[in-house]
Structure 1
Amino acid sequence: MTTTTTEAPIADWVDPAELMRDPYPTYRRLVHETPVAWVPALGRYLVTSSAACRAIEEDQETFSAAVRGGGATMARAMGATPMLRKDDPDHARERTAINTSLRPKSLRAHWAPIFERNARNHLETLRSYGPDEADLNRDYAAPVASQNLIDLLGLRHVTVDDLRRWSHAFIAGTGNLLDDAEIWRRCDAAQDEVDALLTELIPFYRKAPDESITSALIASGLPVEQVTANVKLVISGGMNEPQHAVTNAVWALSHHPAQRRRVLADPSLWARVFDEAVRWQSPIGMYPRETTRAVTLQGVQLPAEAPVGVVVGAANRDPAAFARPDEFDIDRERRPHLAFGSGVHLCAGHWAARIAIGDVAVPLLYEELPGLGTDPRRPETWDGWVFRGLTTLPVTWDA
């Protein structure tokens, strides 16, 4: 941290459309020139260096998760404020309710066989399209992530299409800062459907508790509105990272054949593939915070109630934290990244993602589909920067 204090530089050159297409050139310039900067086009301060992002997560008293704007739309989208937009002790009280369901021991003992069953089921769907028409995101990554989440939440009689529709509606509502009526219509419809489902599930799980997240939330004694808000939070946030982790890993290995050959020869390297894939192409690129007081961050003055974007997608490629940060390299020195956040708001589901995707879903693809790789004959599509990933990824394999 520098001792020189200045007002925040203005990055009026940042173009939201370019961020959506490919945020990394913008990230490189911000990290190099202005790692804490006011961005008029986004109406917030963007923080892009690894050190500054970590400093924010270590000081929740100054950098609050209970943001206005995005916090208000999230509460509107989900019917109440979920734990993600709370600070301790309220955040800790609700987070503790689900921690037992998401510990590594419980995940490996109870959930890993379910994750493998889901992956094998949807692998058959992918295989049915054949090596000329299969899309890894559509036919495998998205439905596997959806079904795993349905099972983790204990949502009975729910399809992967239901969950995907609800997730998209809640995410759109959370980001509906322009108050678009059609977005609220879809979001309200999703709320009604989930509320109706939970009206049935809450008394069911009170009588017959199990290992699911919903059951744990109910057993914790939280008010019903907080149970429902947090179930909706998991629905909205629990699909993107595991879904994109699948496609990112396959895309990365397809473009780095020497590393792909090494991993196939040594399955112990799959954990490194997962970690490096989510660092290199972070599925969650940015999340909001708000200052509770005037503060100096890396020598830059921020006022009280300043809207801040913690750009972990940029921090994960900060050359001050990672050597050759723009390269995918499973042999790089092991250093903690921010793909799952850090501090008290470290993603509750990070172990579930590591096991379901890093241990099961991605290795299974290569075991069952020899020669798997991206298909250069058909176009692929990347999208987003707040949430970023491949929305289409044509793949092929040896027939």
Structure 2
Amino acid sequence: MRVSAAPSADRVTLEQLTEDPYTVYDRLRVIGPVVWAPQLDRFLVTGLDDCRFVEANEDLFEIEQEDSPLKRAMGEVMLSKNEPEHGVERAAVNPALRPKVIAEVWRAHFEANAARVLKRFRRLGPGADLNADFALPYAAMNLAAVVGLPDVPWTAVQRWSLAFIAEVANVQGDPRVSEANDIANAEADAAIDQRIAELAGSADPSMISMMLRAGLPPDLVRANAKLAISGGVNEPQHVLTSGVHALSRHPDQLASVRAGEYTFAQVFDEVVRWMPPIHTLMRQARVDVELNGVMVPAGSLVWILLGAANRDPRHFEQPDRFMVSRTRKPHLAFGSGPHICAGSWAARSSIAEVAWPLLYDELPGLAPVDDDARFHGFFFRGLPGLPVTWNSESDK
């Protein structure tokens, strides 16, 4: 294959990606599979195969960067590390998040939290915001349990999560964002340290406990607990509301699910393909690399565009359509390879096995008040709000 310089997408900006990434992805595919974006100072990779290649080859594309936004926000987290360091920390976390542990331990917590939040949500009545009044507290409560902070209020977990992800996305260095992140780090570190002390000589199935049992030092326990907090609220929260939004726009598909023709597990897989809660992963070229005919110079920053890869027309028929009946194919909503999202099974269980079935059973006619709700965000993308209605007569 002839190797050439990357074509340039001179007008692509972070603002455009935040407002409407899919229109940008369509433009990028026309320009080329690997594109240089001068205003972002990065190479952008859109194809599923190319994105997977970049993720899989740490000898060519390293995850650690001199100014890693993950390090800046939370410290020496495992997602900012290459192998073998990453693998050591990931192995310490995995026992708390295995499907068997989720089914035997955490699902009961998810069910109790869902029932608790639904009780309050139902009292708010039609017009309540499914995002702020159900998905957010539900995800934060679940996360506090799994991480190992059962006594921390969900509102604190939510605030920390928002501060961490805001700092990850703080590419312009807003000092107000950094200050909020510093406060969140101090509060979270104090809560985690208290829990570490409480777990001395004992154990439970939580992430903090498993990391301690594996011998990780306190600074890595703190960092990786905060990493879980950064994505463990935002991602399931947005998947939950994105699914209700999508099903409301496709009532025939919702009817098929309710009739048992398809499952909520299939809904989950299509939602995260169609509207992944995270749209990019960051890498840096270790050496000069040829990627699909384009030369990526050593030291260059690269964005793996997960949202674009999940709608790659070479892999998915009618990729922009939401179709629960779609034949399941591998996608990159949770990444791939050694860095694949550790919490994916917990998210599937809490949403597809617990939240969606409960909501549709207990709130007949559940649907958004406004069918034109708009998604927002690029690093983390979802619905800022989703007021919903239902047949409130069923509550009497």
Partner in structure 1 of residue 356 of structure 2: 362
The answer as to 2:222 corresponding to 1:228 is: yes
Partner in structure 2 of residue 110 of structure 1: 105
> Comparing 333-342 with 38-47, which one deviates more in the overlay?
38-47
The answer as to 2:77 corresponding to 1:82 is: yes
Shift of 1:93: 0.1
Shift of 1:33: 2.8
2:391 is matched by which residue type in structure 1? D
Alpha-carbon displacement from aligned partner over 1:285-338 (angstroms, at most 9, x marks no partner):
111011111101111100001101110001000100101100001111210110
2:100 is matched by which residue type in structure 1? K
- Please say if residues 381 and 393 of structure 1, whose CA atoms lie closer than 8 Å, have aligned partners that are also in contact: no
The answer as to 2:55 corresponding to 1:57 is: yes
Partner in structure 2 of residue 147 of structure 1: 141
Aligned pairs for 1:201-212 (under 5 A) are 201-212=195-206
Structural RMSD (CA): 1.4
2:376 to 383, 388, 395: 383
Shift of 1:89: 0.5
Partner in structure 2 of residue 398 of structure 1: 391
Aligned pairs for 1:244-259 (under 5 A) are 244-259=238-253
Aligned pairs for 1:195-206 (under 5 A) are 195-206=189-200
The answer as to 2:128 corresponding to 1:130 is: no
> Comparing 155-164 with 322-331, which one deviates more in the overlay?
155-164
Instruction: State the TM-score, normalizing by the size of structure 2.
Output: 0.96
Instruction: State the TM-score, normalizing by the size of structure 1.
Output: 0.95
Distance 1:380 1:350, change over 3 A: same
Q: Which secondary structure state, in structure 1, belongs to the residue aligned with residue 383 of structure 2?
A: strand
Q: Distance in 1 between matches of 2:141 and 2:30?
A: 41
Shift of 1:16: 2.5
Partner in structure 2 of residue 37 of structure 1: 35
2:323 to 318, 329, 335: 329
Percent of paired sites with the same residue: 45
Alpha-carbon displacement from aligned partner over 1:234-257 (angstroms, at most 9, x marks no partner):
111211211111001100100001
1:77 is matched by which residue type in structure 2? A
Q: Distance in 1 between matches of 2:206 and 2:343?
A: 13
Partner in structure 2 of residue 93 of structure 1: 88
> Comparing 162-171 with 13-22, which one deviates more in the overlay?
13-22
2:350 is matched by which residue type in structure 1? A
The answer as to 2:169 corresponding to 1:171 is: no
Q: Which secondary structure state, in structure 2, belongs to the residue aligned with residue 7 of structure 1?
A: coil
Q: Distance in 2 between matches of 1:304 and 1:159?
A: 45
Q: Distance in 2 between matches of 1:283 and 1:198?
A: 26
Alpha-carbon displacement from aligned partner over 1:265-290 (angstroms, at most 9, x marks no partner):
11751111000001001111111011
Alpha-carbon displacement from aligned partner over 1:132-176 (angstroms, at most 9, x marks no partner):
x21110111111111100000111421111011101111122233
Partner in structure 1 of residue 313 of structure 2: 319
- Please say if residues 137 and 392 of structure 1, whose CA atoms lie closer than 8 Å, have aligned partners that are also in contact: yes
- Runs (4 or more) in structure 1 with deviation over 4 Å come to none
Q: Distance in 2 between matches of 1:166 and 1:83?
A: 18
The answer as to 2:187 corresponding to 1:189 is: no
2:269 to 266, 271, 275: 275
- Please say if residues 287 and 297 of structure 2, whose CA atoms lie closer than 8 Å, have aligned partners that are also in contact: yes
> Comparing 23-32 with 365-374, which one deviates more in the overlay?
23-32
Structure 1 residue ranges without an equivalent (≥5)? none
2:211 is matched by which residue type in structure 1? L
Structure 2 residue ranges without an equivalent (≥5)? none
